[in-house]
């Protein structure tokens, strides 16, 4: 999408300030080669430099550009939505990472702490989230509680100034690297499920926390299971009131959808520095572009990709500064997830048998194509299944009545569970 | 449209006043009355549209008798007309003919013909497609021959929107120089107009036979397709806006019914099978809005993206409208299949709109070509 709308003077000034900052901090030749369209010069500039996504993330995070919407005192710019948009546009133009390496910290934990945390928690955690000094993970899903997250069983029992936690979490991305986790646990089993939850910050090095890699159908272990055995959490690490955990959890979930919906989560979004436009890479992977049926499909992917980006732009523009993302992020997330699956499946077909069999050690593009194809299967499950999100769209956006809840009003301990 | 891609306050006021006007003047009962007539529109309402709201002249430059607004305002108006299934020659006269004249580069013709279209006194249409149903330049086989100061045209045009009532026909015909545009009086000698039977009776179509009909050249001989091709890009964007308005209304109808209709002791909208259909409609309608608004912006800016986003919007919005119109019938069940229920009116408009100017398959192929694939 080439959407360029003329900046107002205020926006032009911010854009100039940000690109000026980039020019000051990026290696010599990086921006110039992109501006002149010289890909070879870009590769040369990049390889001659010591640029890497981790130090870059720290630099961006320390200067407010990692979270323009966050308050200044916590490391943001106290900015508005359009600032975030401009930052993203310029990052994309200069082939820089669009999301933080600490994506769950910046996208999920930070907004939750800003909304529900104590002043001490804000001071302690937010800046180090932005610089990536402290990586965060999310301890929500459990083997027995996926879509029905509020039915979760991990329990926290108060013991003086501490809570003692026992249970099992699953689908924990980057749990093995994380310093902190966002944890929701049951503090009262005798009342209805939503009312008995409390939200905590868990330091992952606490005794009793056991992170075990879980192998996915891609073959890699991106997620983990986390076993919690007599884990002690200080009460100072509680976010929000006892029994008010569901409200804070919903903030996290809404932000999760917004994070997952706004961007395509490919490698270059996170690591940066790739020179190829993803659309061009997609086209190059298709051998025969003269076949009329293939052309129909290429056009349809082009159309849906454009439409998806425009819708995300409309949604992010409509959102006011500082307010929490609304249900429009569910719309984007469903579309994005299903689009990724269709597109990556089509890429396999377009490459033919070369996408399902290759000589040992000669994987190359076939290997990454396979991984993209397999990984996309999780897109309609993670961060809310497409079915649950369609319920939310139906109920919260269109105002349709809820389905019958057989567990409504029952104490959690009386609910039928796995 | 500003950077946040919301409509301005003034544009929202325009929407509100057009909606109010159409609720008063084009309720379902009027749509049903007019669709049974040959003429297909109410001349009194047509002139009120021009005189009270200035809708015909909205996007025509002031120097030619209009009020000089842009394409975004057209998008707003057409969305509302699509929502109410307004029976009037607005699309043919204001969107197609006026833009063709504006694109023609013929200042004399613009000065002479546009003020009538802007006031609503002239009803014009574009006759370029023939019975082959080929939407591109190759479909034009009618011929024009020089005769004295003017030309005469022979050939047969079909699927001409409101062609039976228009008093000004802008006809595409070939001379030795190539496709050219000509103005032909609707009642001129040699012009025979036949109202076609249509799936969608709220939008009339005609076959027009021209036998040595007297004609006046508009623009440069042989350069007609330059002007017409651009007009078609603008027309499909305008049609996409109309399709968005219709889709939104179909979704609104379906969602309301899903809330009201009780079966098995509860509203059917509480069942996931129905709820998810509604959610999918919303996904598509929001996406169609993105496509149509973005295309409207490209048309308003008249930028080099217009050719590609026009194809994009036509393809996407066509499929959205047909799907939402079909799902609306399904969610209504038996009552949705009756003549008395309005669902079929939208279903018929949706299918017709999907095919007019080329179906989604045609526009996807065109998109590939325009993207250089």
Task: Report yes or no: B269 at the A interface, CB cutoff 8 Å.
Answer: yes
- Say if residue A410's pLDDT is above 70: yes
Task: Report yes or no: B62 at the A interface, CB cutoff 8 Å.
Answer: no
Task: Report yes or no: B289 at the A interface, CB cutoff 8 Å.
Answer: yes
Question: In this structure, what is the dihedral angle of CA atoms B41, B43, B45, B46, given to the nearest 10 degrees?
Answer: 90
- Say if residue A418's pLDDT is above 70: yes
**Partner residue facing A400 (CB), from B270, B294, B312:** B270
With beta carbons under 8 A apart, name residues in chain A contacting B367.
Answer: 299, 302-303
- B173 contacts B180 by C-beta, under 8 angstroms: yes
Q: pLDDT per residue over B63-92, tens digit each?
A: 999 999 999 999 999 999 999 999 999 999
Nearest to A96 by CA among A33, A30, A44, A32: A30
List C-alpha distances in Å: B234 to A137, A327, A407, B183.
50, 33, 55, 20
Rounded CA separation B185/B224 (Å): 18
Highest mean pLDDT among A251-255, A354-358, B199-203: B199-203
The DSSP bridge pattern shows strands B205-218 and B266-267 to be: unpaired
Confidence label for A59 from pLDDT (cuts 50, 70 and 90): very high
Mean pLDDT of A341-367: 88
Mean pLDDT of B269-281: 97
Residue of B nearest to A290 (CA): B373
- Say if residue A324's pLDDT is above 60: no
The DSSP bridge pattern shows strands B124-127 and A223-234 to be: unpaired
Beta strands in B190-245 (DSSP E): 191-195, 205-218
List CB contacts of A53: < 8 A, sequence separation 6 or more: A97, A101, A270, A271, A272, A273
Given A24, A89, A142, A256, the catalytic residue: A256
Nearest to A167 by CA among A146, A186, A190: A186
Q: pLDDT per residue over A179-221, tens digit each?
A: 999 999 999 999 999 999 999 999 999 999 999 999 999 998 8
Rounded CA separation A270/B78 (Å): 42
- B300 contacts B255 by C-beta, under 8 angstroms: no
pLDDT mean across residues, chain B: 96
- A272 contacts A54 by C-beta, under 8 angstroms: no
Catalytic site includes residue A256 = yes
Mean pLDDT of A224-238: 97
With beta carbons under 8 A apart, name residues in chain B contacting A389.
Answer: 279
**Segment among A96-110, A278-292, B21-35 with least mean pLDDT:** A278-292
**Tokens 């409390």 appear where?**
A198
Residue of B nearest to A289 (CA): B373
Question: Percentage of chain A with pLDDT > 70?
Answer: 92
pLDDT at A323: 43
pLDDT at A5: 57
Q: What is the least distance, in Å, from the CA of B130 to any CA of chain A?
A: 25
Whether residues A400 and B259 touch (CB distance < 8 A) is answered with yes
Q: pLDDT per residue over A114-158, tens digit each?
A: 999 999 999 999 999 999 999 999 999 999 999 899 999 999 999
pLDDT mean across residues, chain A: 89
Total Cβ atoms within 10 A of residue B28? 12
CA angle A397, A400, A402 (to 5 degrees): 110
Task: Report yes or no: B280 at the A interface, CB cutoff 8 Å.
Answer: yes
Whether residues A314 and B290 touch (CB distance < 8 A) is answered with yes
pLDDT at A308: 86
**Segment among A113-127, A379-393, B146-160, B315-329 with least mean pLDDT:** A379-393
pLDDT at A270: 57
Rounded CA separation B368/B352 (Å): 24
With beta carbons under 8 A apart, name residues in chain A contacting B293.
Answer: 310, 314
DSSP string covering B315-373: HHHHHHHHHHHHHHHHHHGGGGGSSSSTHHHHHHHHHHHHHTT--HHHHHHHHHHHTT-
Nearest to A398 by CA among B356, B255, B150, B53: B255
Whether residues B282 and A391 touch (CB distance < 8 A) is answered with no
Question: Percentage of chain A with pLDDT > 90?
Answer: 65
Mean pLDDT of B98-124: 97
In this structure, is the dihedral angle defined by the CA atoms of residues A58, A64, A66 and A67, taken in order, positive or negative?
A: positive
Task: Report yes or no: B240 at the A interface, CB cutoff 8 Å.
Answer: no
CA angle B68, B70, B74 (to 5 degrees): 110
pLDDT at A328: 66
Rounded CA separation A307/A347 (Å): 20
Q: pLDDT per residue over A270-315, tens digit each?
A: 566 665 677 888 888 888 899 999 999 999 999 999 998 888 777 7
**Partner residue facing B258 (CB), from A300, A304, A400:** A400
pLDDT at B360: 98
- Say if residue A368's pLDDT is above 90: no
B residues 326-365 closer than 8 Å to A (CB): 361, 364-365
Mean pLDDT of B127-132: 97
- Say if residue A318's pLDDT is above 70: no
Q: What single-letter DSSP state applies at residue A192? A: B
pLDDT at B221: 97
With beta carbons under 8 A apart, name residues in chain B contacting A401.
Answer: 259, 266-267, 269-270
Q: A98-131 burial by CB neighbour count: b if 16+ within 10 A, else e?
A: bbbbbbbbbbbbbbbbbbbbeeebbebbbbbbbb
Judged by DSSP in three states, B214 sits in: strand
pLDDT at A1: 39
- Say if residue A263's pLDDT is above 90: no
């Amino acid at each position: 999408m080439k959407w360029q709308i003329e900046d107002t003077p205020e926006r032009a000034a911010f854009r100039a300030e940000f690109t000026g900052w980039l020019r000051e901090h990026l290696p010599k030749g990086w921006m110039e080669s992109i501006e002149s369209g010289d890909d070879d010069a870009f590769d040369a500039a990049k390889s001659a430099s010591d640029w890497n996504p981790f130090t870059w993330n720290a630099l961006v995070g320390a200067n407010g550009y990692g979270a323009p919407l966050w308050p200044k005192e916590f490391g943001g710019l106290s900015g508005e939505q359009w600032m975030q948009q401009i930052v993203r546009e310029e990052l994309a133009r200069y082939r820089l990472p669009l999301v933080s390496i600490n994506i769950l910290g910046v996208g999920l934990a930070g907004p939750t702490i800003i909304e529900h945390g104590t002043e001490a928690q804000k001071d302690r955690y937010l800046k180090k989230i932005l610089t990536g000094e402290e990586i965060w993970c999310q301890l929500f899903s459990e083997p027995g509680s996926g879509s029905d997250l509020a039915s979760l069983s991990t329990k926290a029992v108060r013991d003086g100034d501490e809570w003692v936690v026992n249970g099992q979490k699953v689908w924990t991305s980057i749990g093995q690297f994380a310093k902190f986790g966002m944890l929701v646990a049951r503090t009262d089993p005798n009342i209805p499920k939503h009312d008995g939850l409390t939200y905590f910050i868990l330091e992952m090095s606490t005794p009793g926390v056991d992170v075990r890699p879980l192998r996915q159908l891609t073959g890699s272990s991106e997620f983990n299971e986390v076993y919690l055995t007599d884990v002690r959490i200080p009460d100072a690490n509680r976010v929000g009131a006892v029994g008010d955990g569901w409200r804070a959890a919903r903030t996290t979930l809404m932000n999760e959808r917004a994070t997952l919906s706004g961007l395509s989560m490919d490698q270059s979004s996170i690591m940066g520095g790739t020179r190829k436009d993803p659309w061009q890479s997609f086209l190059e992977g298709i051998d025969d572009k003269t076949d009329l049926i293939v052309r129909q499909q290429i056009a349809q992917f082009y159309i849906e990709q454009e439409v998806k980006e425009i819708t995300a732009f409309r949604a992010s523009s409509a959102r006011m500064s500082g307010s929490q993302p609304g249900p429009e992020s569910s719309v984007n997330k469903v579309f994005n997830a299903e689009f990724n699956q269709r597109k990556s499946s089509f890429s396999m077909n377009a490459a033919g048998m070369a996408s399902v069999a290759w000589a040992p050690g000669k994987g190359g593009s076939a290997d990454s194509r396979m991984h993209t194809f397999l990984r996309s299967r999780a897109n309609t499950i993670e961060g809310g299944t497409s079915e649950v999100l369609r319920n939310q769209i139906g109920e919260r956006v269109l105002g349709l009545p809820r389905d019958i809840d057989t567990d409504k009003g029952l104490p959690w301990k009386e609910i039928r569970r796995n | 449209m500003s950077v946040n891609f919301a409509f301005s306050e003034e544009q929202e006021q325009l929407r509100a006043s057009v909606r109010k006007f159409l609720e008063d003047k084009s309720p379902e009962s009027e749509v049903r009355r007019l669709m049974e007539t040959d003429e297909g529109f109410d001349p009194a309402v047509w002139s009120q549209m021009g005189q009270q709201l200035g809708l015909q002249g909205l996007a025509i430059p002031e120097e030619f008798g209009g009020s000089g607004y842009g394409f975004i305002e057209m998008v707003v108006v057409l969305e509302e007309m699509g929502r109410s299934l307004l029976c009037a020659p607005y699309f043919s006269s204001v969107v197609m003919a006026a833009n063709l004249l504006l694109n023609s580069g013929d200042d004399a013709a613009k000065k002479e013909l546009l003020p009538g279209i802007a006031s609503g006194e002239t009803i014009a249409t574009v006759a370029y497609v023939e019975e082959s149903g080929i939407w591109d330049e190759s479909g034009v086989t009618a011929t024009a021959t020089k005769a004295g100061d003017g030309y005469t045209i022979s050939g047969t045009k079909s699927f001409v929107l409101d062609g039976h009532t228009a008093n000004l026909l802008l006809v595409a015909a070939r001379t030795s120089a190539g496709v050219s545009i000509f103005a032909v009086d609707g009642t001129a000698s040699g012009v025979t107009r036949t109202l076609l039977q249509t799936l969608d009776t709220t939008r009339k179509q005609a076959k027009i036979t021209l036998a040595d009909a007297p004609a006046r050249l508009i623009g440069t001989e042989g350069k007609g397709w330059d002007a017409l091709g651009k007009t078609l890009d603008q027309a499909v964007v305008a049609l996409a806006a109309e399709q968005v308005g219709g889709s939104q209304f179909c979704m609104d109808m379906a969602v309301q019914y899903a809330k009201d209709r009780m079966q098995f002791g509860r509203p059917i909208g509480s069942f996931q099978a129905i709820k998810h259909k509604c959610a999918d409609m919303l996904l598509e309608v929001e996406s169609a809005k993105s496509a149509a608004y973005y295309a409207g912006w490209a048309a308003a800016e008249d930028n080099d993206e217009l050719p590609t986003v026009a194809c994009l919007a036509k393809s996407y919005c066509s499929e959205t409208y047909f799907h939402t119109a079909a799902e609306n019938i399904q969610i209504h069940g038996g009552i949705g299949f009756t003549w008395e229920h309005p669902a079929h009116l939208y279903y018929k408009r949706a299918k017709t709109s999907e095919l007019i100017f080329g179906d989604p398959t045609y526009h996807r192929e065109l998109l590939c070509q325009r993207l250089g694939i």
